[in-house]
Amino acid sequence: MKSLPHSDIDDLYLYAQLVAEDAEEASVLLAKALDARGKGNRSEASELIQLIAGRHMSDGGAWLTKRQVPQALEELLPRMLSRFSPPRRIAVVRAFKDNDGSASDREVFLISVRRALESDGLTSVARRLTMEGLEESMRQYLNTQMADVPETIRERWEAANRPAAPASPAVGRQFPLPARIAAGVLVILVSAAIGSWITSPSSSSSTTRSELFDTLSNLDSGSPEFRAGDAEQVERFLTDRLDWRLAVPSLDEGMIEGVSVGALDGELSFPVIHYKDQGMETELHIFVLDYRFLESARRSYVVDSSILKQIAETGSVEVRNAPDFFRVTWRFRDDIYVAVSPISDPNLRSRFRFE
């Protein structure tokens, strides 16, 4: 079913998908945007989604002739976009999709893509990449990877905006009262069954899944894979090894010992920063996660949503003092930092400083 004339529902849903964590949240953002449209808000689709997300979200030629370039970009583009903040994600996609954004957005993104390709050991691919090739790859990515508006939402919205049909007199035979009551009960039972199916987990398992943050807190991180004494060295290692540009904090009354790459189930990788806590005379670690990692981890672990809500605002922290560990969790930019110490330290978060 096509959208109504002059409707920007498709653009609204595209931008919602760029900033949402999953399809459910994208649908919620779309519903709020359509409600704003109904109340007369005529902001551009990208601006309206950013406004709503800020209020409701927690804190050569077309396809270059050599197939190696589009194959590399197919994997690289979503990985790079996932590192950007939601407003930056929208700005970059809008610059390529509508060709009406800042030319500098396209140029800066082209440079970033080339550098990422070089970090992956694809220097020859990076040299062949042109702006035209990147634009075509971005269009291909948006057309194939971004889902269409769910039909249930589109139909409900279009039905609400369709002119009402004139009322017609009822015809036909009225069913007896007992038959109408039985039909009503049947509708209730069927609706309850459908609701139970929708809200039930997508897959059942006889094994109880572990809680992700508690699993990390009890993880044996071993020794640093790469020993370094300052944050800059650790940041360079993570950029080269994981293509992950993150800020590494220093520790008051402590020192950085190095970094390693942790893993859960052999495939969920994340940085582990090792510290020597001289004040407490012990070692502690910081596990760094991002929201894409959390989405992948949900398949095997329970991700405590209350923790994510607690750290949604900049400056907010979640603290857990368990018998075996002391944990402080907070968000900095688009990354989640989980500091774990064997000794309780109420001032632990304030001792970490970002230069």
Residues 260 and 226: beta-carbon distance below 8 Å:
yes
> CA quadruple 90, 92, 95, 96: dihedral positive or negative?
negative
CATH code: domain of residue 338: 3.30.200.100
Q: For position 155, what pLDDT does the model report?
A: 79
Pairwise CA distance, residues 35 & 298, whole Å: 31
Q: Are 329 and 224 in a shared domain?
A: yes
Whether 163 maps to a domain, the answer reads no
Whether 151 maps to a domain, the answer reads no
Residues in contact with 122: Cβ distance below 8 Å, sequence separation at least 6, in sequence order = 68, 72
Whether 70 maps to a domain, the answer reads yes
Q: How many domains does the chain have?
A: 2
β-sheet bridge partners, residue 269:
263
Q: Are 22 and 111 in a shared domain?
A: yes
Whether 158 maps to a domain, the answer reads no
Tens of pLDDT, residue by residue over 294-330, are 888 888 899 888 898 888 887 889 999 988 899 999 9
The pairing of strands 254-264 and 268-277 is antiparallel
Q: Are 223 and 101 in a shared domain?
A: no
Whether 328 maps to a domain, the answer reads yes
Pairwise CA distance, residues 115 & 52, whole Å: 33
Q: For position 340, what pLDDT does the model report?
A: 95
Q: Are 130 and 249 in a shared domain?
A: no
Look at residues 107, 125, 145 and tell me which one is the last residue of a structural domain.
145
Residues 213 and 329: beta-carbon distance below 8 Å:
yes
Q: For position 249, what pLDDT does the model report?
A: 94
Q: For position 196, what pLDDT does the model report?
A: 42
Instruction: Name the amino acid, one letter, at 232.
Output: E
- Within the chain, residue ranges assigned H as helices are 9-19, 23-38, 45-56, 68-83, 86-97, 103-119, 123-128, 131-145, 151-160, 177-199, 212-217, 231-242, 291-297, 305-310, 348-351
Domain that holds residue 339: 212-353
Q: Are 217 and 341 in a shared domain?
A: yes
Look at residues 97, 121, 145 and tell me which one is the last residue of a structural domain.
145
Q: For position 62, what pLDDT does the model report?
A: 31
Tens of pLDDT, residue by residue over 124-147, are 778 888 888 888 888 888 877 777
Q: For position 271, what pLDDT does the model report?
A: 93
Whether 260 maps to a domain, the answer reads yes
Whether 89 maps to a domain, the answer reads yes
Pairwise CA distance, residues 129 & 117, whole Å: 10
Whether 192 maps to a domain, the answer reads no
Q: Are 239 and 349 in a shared domain?
A: yes
- Within 200-317, residue ranges assigned H as helices are 212-217, 231-242, 291-297, 305-310
Q: For position 184, what pLDDT does the model report?
A: 58
Question: One digit per residue, pLDDT tens: the chain, 355 residues?
Answer: 444 434 689 899 988 888 887 788 888 899 999 999 989 998 999 989 888 887 655 443 333 334 567 777 877 888 888 888 888 888 888 888 766 556 677 788 888 888 888 888 888 778 888 888 888 888 888 877 777 788 888 878 887 877 766 655 554 455 555 555 555 554 455 444 434 433 434 433 344 678 999 999 998 888 899 998 889 999 988 888 888 888 999 999 999 999 999 888 877 889 999 999 987 788 999 999 988 888 888 888 998 888 988 888 878 899 999 888 999 999 998 889 999 999 989 889 999 998 7
Going by C-alpha positions, the residue among 167, 146, 155 that lies closest to residue 19 is 146
Look at residues 99, 116, 145 and tell me which one is the last residue of a structural domain.
145
Question: Which single residue is written with the structure tokens 């919620």?
Answer: 28
Residues 261 and 272: beta-carbon distance below 8 Å:
yes
Q: For position 198, what pLDDT does the model report?
A: 36
